[in-house]
């Protein structure tokens, strides 16, 4: 629905929204539900700093009811959520012409019915907290993403990309072997599988650095994650077990053209975080050949 169509309801939305618009991270786009309460759910779509949500529930007479939040945005102050991000806005009850007859746009109405707030309750973003109020009734739910696809096969391939570590947990933590803090290192990535079905991710600068990680891939909704052990060494000289660190890639958005996500590395008491991504190159198909 066009944002201009909200018209007279804009004043109500302003009570909840601020002028600050930033994307919720990780991207909440997808279907969310409570596994213990099948039959209702939440659909979220995010573009830039604006979100659209459809809440499909039941009314007091047990009849299906759905509500639309067509202009969710991120307020400047949102409390202790992952990355400080969240979405909030006005929920609307809509009515319109019967689907089996001719469509009369004049019959479409939007009536403010309440509010919707979406948050990640912790930095791991493993669940989505939905707080909504409809006709004065307040509800808080913890939701999980609906997952029926798997980006593992799509991730297999060869890429040109980069890795950056922008944060380390303490000033006395040494810069990692393959790249200092706040510097993006260009890499050539290759993602394949092992005989046990695990993924193996390797990359090289093409000059002197070679790294390889073997671990498990998991899918949650539209995003994937990878967790494994990383070893690095000098190209041509083999891997150095002494440099082994725990590697996690989170919030992986994977398409036919490439991938991007968050990066976390743990070496001893030191934690490093940043981002990683790559653009798919020719000569490597989805089967990893």
Question: Cα separation of 225 and 262, whole Å?
Answer: 9
Mean pLDDT of 83-88: 75
Backbone phi and psi for residue 27, each to the nearest 5 degrees, phi listed first: -60, 120
Res 19: pLDDT: 43
For the chain, the straight-line distance linking the first and the last C-alpha, in angstroms and rounded, comes to 44
Q: For residue 182, count other CB atoms closer than 10 A to its CB.
A: 12
Res 72: pLDDT: 92
More confident residue, 23 or 66: 66
Q: For residue 158, count other CB atoms closer than 10 A to its CB.
A: 17
Whether 11 shows a pLDDT value over 60: the answer reads: no
CATH 2.40.128 is held by the domain 152-280: yes
Over the chain, what is the mean pLDDT?
A: 82
Res 77: pLDDT: 52
Whether 81 shows a pLDDT value over 90: the answer reads: no
Res 167: pLDDT: 83
Residue 26 pLDDT grade (very low, low, confident, very high; cuts 50, 70, 90): confident
| Angle at 37 (CA atoms; ends 36, 40), nearest 5 degrees | 150
Whether 268 shows a pLDDT value over 50: the answer reads: yes
Q: What beta strand segments (E) does the chain contain?
A: 30-33, 41-47, 50-58, 64-72, 86-95, 109-119, 128-134, 137-145, 157-168, 184-193, 199-204, 209-220, 223-234, 240-254, 258-267, 270-280
Whether 178 shows a pLDDT value over 60: the answer reads: no
Burial classification of residue 91, based on how many CB atoms lie within 10 Å of its CB (0-12 exposed, 13-18 middle, 19 or more buried): buried
Res 171: pLDDT: 81
Q: Which of 20-29, 58-67, 251-260 has the lowest average pLDDT?
A: 20-29
Question: Cα separation of 195 and 188, whole Å?
Answer: 23
Q: Which of 47-56, 230-239, 244-253 has the lowest average pLDDT?
A: 230-239
DSSP SS3 for 284 = coil
More confident residue, 156 or 2: 156
CATH 2.40.128 segments of the chain = 152-280
Whether 203 shows a pLDDT value over 50: the answer reads: yes
Whether 1 shows a pLDDT value over 50: the answer reads: no
Res 17: pLDDT: 35
């Amino acid at each position: 629905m066009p944002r201009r169509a909200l018209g007279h309801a804009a004043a109500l939305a302003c009570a909840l929204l601020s002028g600050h618009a930033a994307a919720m991270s990780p991207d909440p786009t997808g279907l969310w539900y409570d596994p213990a309460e099948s039959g209702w759910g939440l659909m979220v779509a995010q573009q830039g700093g604006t979100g659209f949500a459809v809440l499909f529930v039941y009314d007091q007479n047990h009849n299906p009811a759905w509500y639309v939040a067509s202009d969710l945005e991120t307020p400047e102050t949102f409390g202790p959520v992952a990355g400080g991000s969240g979405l909030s806005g006005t929920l609307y009850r809509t009515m319109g012409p019967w689907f089996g007859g001719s469509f009369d746009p004049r019959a479409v109405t939007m009536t403010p019915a309440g509010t919707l707030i979406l948050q990640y309750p912790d930095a791991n973003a493993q669940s989505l907290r939905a707080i909504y109020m409809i006709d004065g009734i307040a509800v808080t739910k913890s939701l999980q993403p609906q997952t029926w696809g798997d980006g593992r096969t799509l991730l297999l391939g060869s890429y040109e990309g980069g890795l950056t570590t922008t944060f380390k947990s303490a000033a006395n933590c040494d810069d990692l072997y393959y790249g200092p803090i706040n510097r993006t290192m260009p890499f050539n990535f290759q993602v394949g599988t092992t005989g046990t079905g695990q993924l193996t991710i390797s990359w090289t600068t093409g000059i002197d650095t070679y790294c390889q990680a073997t671990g498990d891939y998991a899918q949650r909704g539209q995003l994937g994650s990878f967790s494994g052990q990383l070893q690095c060494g000098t190209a041509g000289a083999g891997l150095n077990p002494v440099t082994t660190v725990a590697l996690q890639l989170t919030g992986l958005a994977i398409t036919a053209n490439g991938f991007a996500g968050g990066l976390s590395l743990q070496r001893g008491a030191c934690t490093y975080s940043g981002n990683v991504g790559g653009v798919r190159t020719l000569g490597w198909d989805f089967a990893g050949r």
